[in-house]
Structure 1
Amino acid sequence: MRRFITDFWHRPSPLRPLSLDWLLLGGCLALMALGLVMITSTSVVADNNPYGYLSRQCLNLLAGVLAGLFFLLIPLRLWQRRQVGWWLWGLSIFLLALLLLVAKPANGALRWFDLGVFKVQPAELVKLFVIIYLAGYLLHRRHNLRSSWKGVLIPIVSLFPLGILLNLQPDFGSILVLMGVAGGMLFLAGLNFRHLLFLAGLAGTLVAWLLLDGGYRIERWMHALDPWADRYGNGYQVIQSLIAFASGGWFGVGLGNSVQKHAYLPEAHTDFILAILGEELGFVGVLACLGLFALVCLRALYIGVRAERAGLLFSALLAYGIALLWMGQVLVNFAVNLGLVPTKGLALPFVSYGGSALLACCASLGLLLRIDWEYQQLPVVPADEPEDDRLPDWLQRLRYD
């Protein structure tokens, strides 16, 4: 037994504690711990079971740890196979289409598989599948990505069915996040300026069409800009969220002393958990939360930059995609809580209550830790740093120096 422990500690393995990126892992663990504390605080006012949400979130966390370990132990060469990416794309189409057929409406949307014991939101898993698919595609098409329109149009056309299925739920927030992630990954993979302008125009046209579709989204934007115009209707959540932030001040009213969580602010444990955090811990608490997100997102970008320097393009694009996904969801959630955009139903990564979101976040964390571990084991440093004419000279030096 002693020899086994010694061999396990010293041999190269992603499970060896000292092989992990503790800065990234520590930041994510701190966010999950903060989430458990705030979920307990927001749900303890429930009459029937004050610790029900906490116990279920602990089970979600256990499932997330298992998912993270799974992705940590799988070699990246498996995910970068072309057929694996297309299988994940097909699985995403199947899950979103099946959802529209069998899901029961909840809050006016079709977003969850109700399996009795728990609910699954496929959109959270689809985001990760799309990142893996795009990273594999851009790896295999990197030679004609900058010179051929075909190399650009294939991933865009392949993502259109996903956008249509998400719009039918409807889930406009996930569409916006996926568009941003896909655009960022295409740019970082080497998209030229002409193609970039085309994609920007296409994205703007699509967003305008989605906003005008049915007219209700424009109305929600107007109420987000002026929630007091419909204070007991569409503007109610935003007003209650702003009241929570205003009540918190600099240092908050104290952990557990929130007033807004007492049935004033709906979805206080999910979409608007940041507002309760701001009320109880104040501006300092919100700033600390934002600092943790900045730490993990910048660390994910750094892991991607190191992998790209070593010539590991798939690993780099995967890390970039995960970092962009986290940053997009954090920015949208912060904007919703501050009343800058209408409510989108996007959870705050690692913090909000929800099994599917936490599962996807932990799986993404496992991928990032695997990328970093493989970089440590197989460093490949190119002799000459490639010039990148997508970026200005000062940004090239910042990226490669």
Structure 2
Amino acid sequence: MLWAKVKKMDFLLIAVVFILSIFGLMMVYSASFPIGEMYYNSGNYFFVKQLQWLLISMVFFILAALINPALYARWSPALVMLSFILLIAVLLPSIGVERNYSQRWISIGGFLFQPSEMVKISMVIYFASIYAKKQAYINHFVQGVLPPVIILLIVFLLILSQPDLGAAGIILAACGIIVTCSGVKMRHLLLLGSVAAIGIVYFAFSSAYRLNRLTSFRNPFEEFSEGGYQLANSLLAINSGGIMGNGIGNSVQKLGYLPEAHTDFIMAITIEELGAAGLLIVFACYMIILFRGIFIAKQLSNSFYQLLAIGMTFLIMIQAVINLGAISGLLPITGVTLPFISYGGSSIIMMMICAGILVNLSAKREN
């Protein structure tokens, strides 16, 4: 029975996910080599850690791909409760770890874990589960639409308290897409969208630091000494890459000029070294994930499975769009990593779980 399920899985999707992950591992090695030598006396330092995380994430991928997907709906209340506990715990001085003026991490056995990464998946599962159950009264705003939104609002505010506008925005957008696909009335969607937009604008303008962070992307070279430093160096890296790049390992910006070269801005280094050709390969892989995810959702008859497939697909894609938009100056910099490619244990594990769930659902297709 297990083999019959494996044979029905989407092997193109599996292949693309692992291509991106191996490609990311290669680029983490290249982008992090100088900083590894500088701070840890080993250029392999971040590569080895990322390889360890990737191997661990593969175990999670396999588990997510093989378990009965109906269990995700059963677990959703517990996942939401765990999300609340972790989001409150990370704000406690004795538990949360602060870095770069943000308290987003919990230290577990010497490893840093970012709860918001797990919360992304938990909220998508919860929204897919709850709106699948509410199909009979989905047109009733108070009874069918509002209760899960209140839970989302609490989670959103807790993540903003860290502060982490990027993660909060991703969760809001992914859950919003699930609500849209669930069949909610247009006027209800417009109401929820308007309230969300007002809240985000208020949050952005309530702090001079956040406002500067969100607006400096418009003129990075004019604000080079303040909020534009990262983006300016990212644009220099991208411009230097041209069509075919300067060759793997030959980035200049990773030599201490571009902060977070192996995490948030790894794609800028990739373009500098591999050029537009490298970007095209990554973009093509993400497009395959997008179209396969939508294709899988359309072939599912179970409403929970459909909404879950859509949610997982767009959870990956929204994060990719925000990251690529940030490094190119099209969107504000919010500290969002690039799925499957950026360095980071929490990120690679959670993205692999997303992919595993999507692959799991592909075996449930009727055609």
Query: TM-score w.r.t. structure 2 length?
Result: 0.95
Q: 1:294 is matched with which residue?
A: 287
Aligned position for 1:319: 309
CA distance in 2, matches of 1:148, 1:255: 54
Q: Structure 2 residue aligned with 1:176, among 169, 173, 178?
A: 169
Decide whether the 8 Å contact of 1:271 with 1:346 is kept in 2: yes
| Residue matched to 2:117 | 124
- The CA deviation string for residues 261-303 of structure 1, in whole angstroms up to 9 with x for no partner, is 1011111000000000010000121121111111112111111
Indicate yes or no: 2:53 matched with 1:64. no
Residue 128 of structure 1 contacts residue 364 of structure 1 at CA under 8 Å; is this kept in 2? yes
Shift of 1:139: 1.3
Q: 1:229 deviation in Å?
A: 2.5
After TM superposition, give the deviation of residue 104 of structure 1 in Å: 2.3
CA deviation after TM superposition for structure 1 residue 90, in Å:
0.8
Task: Say whether residues 1:207 and 2:200 are aligned partners.
Answer: yes
Q: CA deviation at 1:203?
A: 1.4
Secondary structure of the corresponding residue to residue 112 of structure 1 = strand
Structure 1 portions without partners, runs of 5+: 1-10, 382-401
Q: Which residue of 2 aligns with 1:8?
A: none
Aligned counterparts of 1:183 and 1:70: Cα–Cα separation in 2: 27
Q: CA shift at 1:117, angstroms?
A: 3.1
C-alpha displacement of 1:216: 2.3
Q: Which of 118, 138, 150 is 2:131 aligned to?
A: 138
2:322 corresponding residue in structure 1: 332
Classify 1:66/1:324 alpha carbon distance in 2 versus 1 (closer, same or farther; 3 Å). Answer: same
3-state SS, counterpart of residue 104 of structure 1: strand
Report the Cα distance in structure 2 between the residues aligned to 1:276 and 1:172, rounded to whole angstroms.
24
The partner residue of 1:354 within 340, 344, 347 is 344
Cross-structure match for 1:90? 81
Cα distance per residue 1:145-199 (max 9 Å; x no partner): 1234321111111111111110110000111111111111011010111111111
What is the one-letter code of the residue matched to 2:89?
L
Matched residue, 1:395: none
Once the two structures are TM-superposed, the CA of residue 113 in structure 1 deviates from its matched residue by: 1.1
Alpha carbons 1:14, 1:73 under 8 Å: kept: no
Provide the residue aligned with 2:19 in structure 1: 30
2:214 to 221, 224, 229: 221
Aligned equivalents of 2:59 and 2:280: distance in 1? Answer: 30
Q: TM-score, normalised by structure 1?
A: 0.87
Letter in 1 for 2:340: F
The CA deviation at 1:116 is 4.5
Q: For structure 2, list consecutive stretches of 5 or more residues without a partner in the other structure.
A: none
What is the match of residue 162 of structure 1?
155
Partner of 2:96: 103
Letter in 2 for 1:245: I
Q: Report the secondary structure of 1:228's partner residue.
A: coil
Deviates more, 1:278-287 or 1:336-345: 336-345
Indicate the RMSD between aligned Cα atoms, in angstroms: 1.4
Q: Are residue 43 (structure 1) and residue 36 (structure 2) matched?
A: no
Which string of whole-angstrom CA distances, capped at 9 and with x for unpartnered residues, describes residues 333-383 of structure 1? 0111012233211110000000101100111111111111133xxx3x8xx
Does residue 263 (structure 1) correspond to residue 253 (structure 2)? The answer is no
Q: CA deviation at 1:73?
A: 2.2
Q: Which moved more, 1:214-223 or 1:202-211?
A: 214-223
1: CA distance, partners of 2:258 / 2:323:
15
Q: Letter of the 1:330 partner, please give it.
A: A
Question: Greater CA deviation, 217-226 or 124-133?
Answer: 217-226
Return 262-271 or 291-300, whichever deviates more: 291-300
- Residue aligned with 2:88, SS: helix
1:247: Cα distance to partner?
Answer: 0.6
Asked if 1:152 corresponds to 2:128, the answer is no
Displacement of 1:13 in angstroms is: 3.0
Offset at residue 142 of structure 1 (A): 1.1
- Mapped partners of 1:65, 1:325: distance in 2: 19
Shift of 1:14: 6.6
Query: What is residue 7 of structure 1 aligned with on the other side?
Result: none
| Residue in structure 1 matched with residue 362 of structure 2 by the alignment | 372
Other-structure match for 2:3: 13
Quote how far apart the aligned CAs of 1:217 are: 2.0
Deviations 1:190-227 (A, max 9, x none): 01111111112111111111111223222223311111
Q: Take 1:19 and 1:117, find their aligned partners in 2: how far apart are those partners? A: 40
State the Cα distance separating 1:233 from its structure 2 match: 2.3
Q: State the one-letter code of the partner of 1:249.
A: G
3-state DSSP of counterpart to 2:361? helix
User: What's the secondary structure of 2:103's corresponding residue?
Assistant: coil
Q: Deviations over 1:114-142 (max 9, x none)?
A: 23532111111110010111111011111
Return the alpha-carbon distance in structure 1 between the equivalents of residues 76 and 139 of structure 2.
21
SS state at 1:143 partner? helix
Provide closer, same or farther for how the CA distance between residues 210 and 299 of structure 1 changes in structure 2, counting only shifts above 3 A: same
> How far off its partner does 1:314 sit?
0.7
Query: In the aligned structure 2, how far is the partner of 1:148 from the partner of 1:363?
Result: 32
